[in-house]
Amino acid sequence: MNDTHRLAVRMTAWVTAACLLGDSMLYIVLPIYWASFGLDALWQVGILLSVNRFVRLPLNPFVGWLYGRLRKRTGFLLAAALACLTTFAFALGTGFWMLLAARALWGAAWSMLRIGGYLTVLEAAGSSDRGRLLGSYNGIVGVGSLVGMLTGGLLADLIGVRFVALLLGAVTLAGLPLAWRFVPATTAAPAQQAASASLRSTLNAKAALTLASGFMVGVVFYGLLIASLSPLIAAHLPGGEALPVWGFALGAASVAGLVQALRWAWSPFLSPWIGRWSDGPRGRLPLYLSALGIAACGMALLPLPIPFAPWLAVLLGVMLANTAINTLSDALAADAAAGGSAVAYMTTYTTVVDVGAALGPVAAFALLGAFGLPGIGAAAAVLTALTAAAWLLWRRSPAGRSASLRKEAGLTSQ
């Protein structure tokens, strides 16, 4: 891989990070300042924050088809323009229906950014650096989420939520010249386009298992864990009310925000390192199985009545494992897509993750009402453990042993 390809991946990630600013800000400010946006009820907040996920489900296949015929640069320019418009909508617009349309457009923009980003990495990477490039890409994208959340949380009270949205919309405009200058003006390779029509025939056991892992990531880490984070923290805070830090009393929501911010802060450093390690001679599976095991054990412990300090250490361990699992799941998907059906496979992978992310919060609140926090912890731990067990069985199968031998010989990536 040459420096031009490496630069294209980094700059594509920065375009995506810029476009994420407004979306990430809304997750912090909308549940608190919903009346400032002309909303009438709190249920409208839930719909606005989730509709973009549901919009992506039917749109992902269309976006994948589009990238087989459209230059990636054009797709990113369109996505950046939509991201600007949707963020400005929250700065200037009022009322549920207008904001709902803006969030639906953001869902379309995110589909174009995510699938286009995967394809850019696949075009630039080889089997020896695919994990490192995906880790670098995910880490930079995480910076956008971190800055959006921090900006929303720190500036909303000082300058008002409307002005924060206007400011972040203006910053997002920087994605347009970056996309024009650095995103490759290429479409999917002809071989990839041809293979898109025959994805089912090339979907071997490992590729199918990778899709199942992506679904698990969506359900567990984008759904069960995030939806239950604030209640879990509230249940473990000393006295059940607030955590005293440097003279301040931090409630459950504040602690949850700090934990999320910390996770996004370490991602730019940890994700590339995990990806580079997984590119090594032992492959991705040993590291992936370890991360899944740590996450399963940690999530089984989270609902238990543990003192706050060791409980927080367990939570941070789960978040670290989450970072590793996200990077390695994407890398495994890229390995499967590199066999020829890149557009179709990465579109399918993105869709199953989105389905999991859409179902996860629904499952979390259903479990919370029926079984409480222990039910969520048990479900998350079981799903993660089952995923680890499935990969362990595949690794011990003839196909898995053969793949390990080829990896050790330097012939392929595992």
Own/partner long-range contacts of 377-382 (Cβ < 8 Å, ≥24 apart): 377/299, 377/300, 377/301, 377/302, 377/303, 377/304, 378/300, 378/303, 379/224, 380/220, 380/224, 380/225, 380/299, 381/296, 381/297, 381/299, 381/300, 382/296
pLDDT score, position 382: 96
**pLDDT the model gives residue 186:** 81
Question: Is the same domain home to 167 and 227?
Answer: no
* Token pair in block for residue 29: 């400010």
- Between CA 133 and CA 137 the distance in angstroms is 6
Q: Among 188, 210, 229, identify where a domain stops.
A: 188
Which CATH number belongs to the domain containing residue 14 in this structure? Answer: 1.20.1250.20
Q: Is residue 414 part of a domain?
A: no
> pLDDT for 173-223, tens place per residue?
989 999 999 888 887 654 444 444 455 545 688 889 999 999 999 999 988
- Amino acid letter, residue 360: G
Nearest Cα residue to 409 out of 281, 277, 279, 276 = 281
Long-range contacts formed by 235-243: CB under 8 A, 24+ apart: 235/303, 235/373, 236/305, 236/306, 236/308, 236/311, 236/312, 237/308, 238/308, 243/308
Collapse the DSSP code of 84 into the 3-class scheme (helix H, G, I; strand E, B; otherwise coil) and give the result: helix
- Number of domains the chain contains: 2
Report the largest interatomic distance among the alpha carbons of the chain, rounded to a whole angstrom: 62
User: Is the same domain home to 213 and 135?
Assistant: no
Q: Do 63 and 85 belong together in one domain? A: yes
Q: Do 209 and 128 share a domain, yes or no? A: no
**pTM to 2 decimal places:** 0.85
Tell me, what's the pLDDT at 364?
85
Q: Are residues 97 and 217 in the same domain?
A: no
Same domain, 165 and 229: no
71 and 146 both lie in a single domain? yes
The three-state secondary structure class of 249 is strand
136 and 183 inside one domain: yes
Q: Which residues of the chain, if any, have pLDDT below 70?
A: 1-2, 188-203, 239-254, 339-340, 399-414
User: According to the model, what pLDDT value does residue 93 have?
Assistant: 85
Burial 234-249 (b: 16+ CB within 10 A, else e): bbbbeeeebbeeeeee
Residue 195 lies in a domain: no
Any idea of the CA torsion for 16, 24, 364, 252, to the nearest 10 degrees? 140
The pLDDT of residue 413 is: 43
Q: Containing domain of residue 95, as a range? A: 3-188
